[in-house]
Amino acid sequence: MQHFVNEYEYTSDILEESVGAWWECKFKAGYRSMLVVFILIAVLSIVLKRPVLLLVEFAPFFVIMLLKLKKKKAIQIEQERVDILFHSSALSYCVEIGEDISVTSSKGNNRIQFSDVEKYIETKNLIILFVKGSMTLALDKKGFREGTKEAFMSLLADMIN
């Protein structure tokens, strides 16, 4: 089994990218549904020659805006939690990947089994693991001290179906 070590400081930027990606993934179907509803209403108003139906266009737009606001609020809440728990001091993570995933921070040490990882995504700066229980584990792409990002992505593709 390959061994990887990823170390990084959990900054506001990483927090925002990680929580934001979770929200985008979690509600991707909702965004798409609202877009389809928006288009259907427009088509129906044209086909039925009832421009008054265009007033209903505000409903899916409102839902999308509400989801965006909730995402922003979730990021703020997570930042408040980190500030309260760590008194605005630096929070560092060391993630070791071998037979399982070991996460060490100033909060302690936790282990995650690969079977508990539901999926993963790659963002601009992070690899984000979606763990059962609506949890995430972010790894900084530049934070690999052992192994490479490419080899880790290959391992994830093999381990997580």
115-158 pLDDT per residue, tens: 999 999 999 999 999 999 888 999 999 999 999 999 999 999 98
Taking alpha carbons only, the member of 110, 137, 99, 118 closest to residue 18 is 137
Report which of residues 19 and 161 the model is more confident about.
Answer: 19
User: Hey, what's the torsion of the CAs at 20, 77, 103, 99, to 10 degrees?
Assistant: -50
pLDDT above 80 (res 85): no
pLDDT at residue number 161: 66
Q: What is the mean pLDDT of residues 17-23?
A: 92
User: Hey, what's the torsion of the CAs at 8, 11, 14, 18, to 10 degrees?
Assistant: 110
pLDDT above 70 (res 88): no
For the chain, report the end-to-end CA distance as a whole number of angstroms.
18
Q: What is the mean pLDDT of residues 63-67?
A: 88
pLDDT at residue number 51: 76
